[in-house]
Amino acid sequence: MTEVQINSYGWNVDLTVKDKVGAPVDLSLATTTDFVFQKPDGKAFKVSAVFVTDGTDGQLRYLIVVGKIDKVGYVFPLESYDALGTKTV
């Protein structure tokens, strides 16, 4: 498990969206991609992710910015959604 410091930023959260058999999902035609993170108080927030490559490999990335990590106990990421209707938990 990766240890994260409060108020840290400038690091990536990467996720590969996979189908039910574990194969990467081609997201190259998706017009939006989002990660949903869970805060320590149970509330969730959504951020826009980008393709790591061209999207055909299902890889998404979000760069943590200043102010997002302000408490201990976040879940990274809780879910991922894209415009194709793919949901990863």
> Please, what is the average pLDDT of the chain?
79
Q: Which of 28-37, 52-61, 64-73 has the highest mean pLDDT?
A: 52-61
Domain range for 48 is 12-80
**3 occurs within a structural domain:** no
Please name which of 61, 59, 46, 53 lies closest in space to residue 13, comparing C-alpha atoms. 61
Q: Which residue has the higher pLDDT, 75 or 27?
A: 27
Confidence band, pLDDT 50/70/90 cuts, at residue 61:
very high
Whose tokens are 């996720």? That residue is 15
**50 occurs within a structural domain:** yes
pLDDT of residue 50: 93
8: pLDDT strictly greater than 80 = no
pLDDT of residue 53: 96
**40 occurs within a structural domain:** yes
